[in-house]
Structure 1
Amino acid sequence: MTLSQAKLVIPAHMLPGGVAPNANDFGFAHVEKQRLENRDIQPLTEYSFRSPLPHIDKANLATVFDNAAEHFLWHLAKGTPYQITKSFSNGSQTTKSYHYENNRLTSKSSPLADLLANSLF
């Protein structure tokens, strides 16, 4: 079972201007940015990563993605909630939402809307 695609979702207003993820840093050939509008919660920005790079060891792709996501999230305000969804070659999928404050995990739930509904973001 290897990572085949992934999504990173953050509140749209928390994204600093000019900062965008580089697909190659995440171990993928392509990244697409999409703004998600929902009347119940604030607008979100979703980055969809697809087409794993052939030179990345498939067993380590999830680790490459996690490390790149951690680095990318350092550009955001501390405490920004975010959601990561990973899809694997066997058809399984995992979705986790996180909220960090002072570099410590304070809550975990799914979907991201749960975190946003209970926060001041």
Structure 2
Amino acid sequence: MKLLQVDFEYKGPMGEAMSQSLVDLAKSINKETGMIWKIWTENFENKLSGGVYLFEDEPSAQKYLKMHTERLKLMGVDEVRGVIFDINLPLTKVNNGPVFMPRSEHET
């Protein structure tokens, strides 16, 4: 498993307005190869948005990061910061990290 962390400056809607306007995008992300889950992030004060994703493997995370960066640039985002991390599974388990949930529990 690989964790992908992405953030970028975002001038669009946040909170409930973001939830309503981006629900179709959220549903489409579930269909990306190797994607297990995503946590959407937003910081209204600093005008930042992004997400934390769990992928089955690094090639899937790399492919998604490339596609997502291109999509965001088409939407007017100048800089996308994306980092792929390994997961320390023993310590993550101590802290009840969601990487141990069966996939069916969080699919929609």
TM-score by length of 1: 0.47
1:36 to 30, 43, 52: 43
1:46 to 41, 50, 69: 50
Instruction: Call closer, same or farther: CA 1:67–1:23 in 2, change over 3 Å.
Output: farther
TM-align CA RMSD: 3.2
Contact 2:65 2:82 in 1 (8 A): no
Q: CA deviation at 1:74?
A: 4.2
Q: CA deviation at 1:72?
A: 2.7
Is 1:61 aligned to residue 50 of structure 2? no
User: 1:72-87 maps to which residues of 2 (within 5 A)?
Assistant: 72-77=71-76, 80-87=78-85
Contact 1:12 1:44 in 2 (8 A): yes
The percent identity for this pair of structures is 6
Instruction: Call closer, same or farther: CA 1:8–1:23 in 2, change over 3 Å.
Output: farther
17-26 or 60-69, which moves further after superposition? 17-26
Q: Give the unaligned 5+ runs of structure 2.
A: 90-108
Contact 1:10 1:83 in 2 (8 A): yes
Q: Give the structure with the higher percent strand.
A: 1
User: 1:4-43 maps to which residues of 2 (within 5 A)?
Assistant: 4-13=2-11, 17-18=21-22, 20=25, 22-25=29-32, 27-36=34-43, 42-43=46-47
CA–CA distance in 2 between the matches of 1:59 and 1:43?
29
Q: Give the structure with the higher percent helix.
A: 2
Instruction: Call closer, same or farther: CA 1:30–1:45 in 2, change over 3 Å.
Output: same
CA–CA distance in 1 between the matches of 2:72 and 2:59?
20
How many residues align? The count is 80
TM-score by length of 2: 0.52
Measured against aligned partners, the alpha-carbon deviations of 1:14-70 in whole angstroms (never above 9, x if no partner) come to 5795374514326312111121255xxx320121112x24xxxx3522432233323
